[in-house]
Amino acid sequence: MIDIKFLRENPDIVKENIKKKFQNHKLILVDEVIDLDKKNREVMMHGDELRNERKLLSNKIGNLMKDGKKEEAEAVKSKVQDINNELLENEKLEEQYSSEIKTRMMKIPNIIHESVPIGKDDSENVEVQKYGEPIVPNYEIPYHTDIMESFCGIDLDSARRVAGNGFYYLIGDIARLHSAILSYARDFMINKGFTYCIPPYMIRSDVVTGVMSFEEMDAMMYKIEGEDLYLIGTSEHSMIGKFKGQILNKANMPYTMTSYSPCFRKEKGAHGIEERGVYRIHQFEKQEMIVVCEPEESYEWYDKLWSYTVELFRSMDIPVRTLECCSGDLADLKAKSVDVEAWSPRQQTYFEVGSCSNLTDAQSRRLGIRIKGENGNYFAHTLNNTVVAPPRMLIAFLENNYNADGSVNIPEVLRPYMGGIEKLIPKK
């Protein structure tokens, strides 16, 4: 959510930003907010005038009672009651206007960074840099679930019977590899100075609407029936929610945390759920990183965060590239975002395995996350980034470490988490 003062003073900039995101249907919201804000300030001013008048009359009543002018005092009391009734109606108007303003402000996208490329959707995202040489071996690489099945490592049929499409059983060496990658990612981030955390896996609605747009909420979140609770789609929601309503000590900034959690997503929309694969699913696990920092430091942290993901993947012999998200591909709260994509030798293309975003003060304004400053409190900046999200990451790992005989190499960094095993040997 942007600053209403900024919108009030720069409506043309806000409208131009909406156009850059190809959301012209939201242009009317700017004019509506300006009109409602004007009315609200008039109502608030009138409320102040009424309260001042009531204070003067209340003092007058006291003086009249002292002078024994009871009848006159009663007449003034009647005026005070009329003011109280008018104030009640005025406060209802204030509440109404404030609610209508907030509803519209929550739909107006955050101001994107000037460096963001302009484009309608993810097809117009821009490649920034490649890391590692993308190799296509001279032997066939099977589909990722076929590789897993050769190790007796996945059971989609049983999962379908138990929970439906979009779920899976990981078994044996593949399940161990999945856990090993998460453990390595956890320690990798701890060694970068991040504090490890396991957060709540459910959050309340006021946290959900604080960390994402209504469109994202509808497409992603599972609601717990009969309770004000949602299953998290990613631990960043719970982690940023941890700071809700807090005034942070400047001396403790920044907060750098890495979190593990299962994630639950509807995956509602055009992409759909795969029948055979584990690329887009309803349930997965993830290691995440979040930063809550000073506004002037957020873009420095942004570059650090995505570089950590690149470093992690390269340490496991997986070529990756970074892709700058264009304006139309940015969720409403994001000011700038970069995807990290891993090389798929089977498909001979890259696919998304992580996303790093700077949300500037958009989440902080919604959640009330402020820093105590010498000249008053101000909103913090928040960032998030995927460290690793298996089993999607397993696709990249298995393909890039697959040998002609069907075995899979275990990179040196993962061997301590795999009992020293250097290679997985297929069982069938």
Per-domain residue ranges of the chain: 4-105, 122-424
By the 8 A CB rule, do 272 and 280 touch?
Answer: yes
> Residue 272 pLDDT more than 60?
no
CA dihedral (188, 192, 196, 201) in degrees, to 10, reads -70
For residue 72, what pLDDT is reported?
A: 86
Nearest to 240 by CA among 369, 79, 405: 369
d(CA 287, CA 317): 19
What is the pLDDT confidence band of residue 63, given thresholds at 50, 70 and 90?
confident
When the pLDDT of each residue in the chain is averaged and rounded to a whole number, the result is 94
For residue 214, what pLDDT is reported?
A: 80
Can you tell me which residue has the tokens 């990290």? 340
**For residue 402, what is the DSSP state?**
B
d(CA 29, CA 193): 42
Q: Say which CATH superfamily domain 122-424 falls into.
A: Bira Bifunctional Protein; Domain 2 (3.30.930.10)
pTM of the model: 0.90
pLDDT, tens digit (0-9, with 9 covering 90-100), for 168-183:
999 999 999 999 999 9
Q: Tokens for 326? A: 């264009």
d(CA 168, CA 158): 8
Helices 392-400 & 172-190 angle (0-180, nearest 10): 100
What is the pLDDT confidence band of residue 271, given thresholds at 50, 70 and 90?
low
Distance of CA 396 to the CA centre of its chain: 24
**Mean pLDDT of the region 51-66:** 87
For residue 104, what pLDDT is reported?
A: 96
pLDDT, tens digit (0-9, with 9 covering 90-100), for 276-327:
788 888 999 999 999 999 999 999 999 999 999 999 999 999 999 999 999 9
> Residue 387 pLDDT more than 60?
yes
**What is the DSSP code string of 52-119?**
HHHHHHHHHHHHHHHTT-HHHHHHHHHHHHHHHHHHHHHHHHHHHHHHHHHHHHTTSPPPPPTTSPP-
Q: Tokens for 391? A: 């089993």
- CATH no. of 4-105: 1.10.287.40
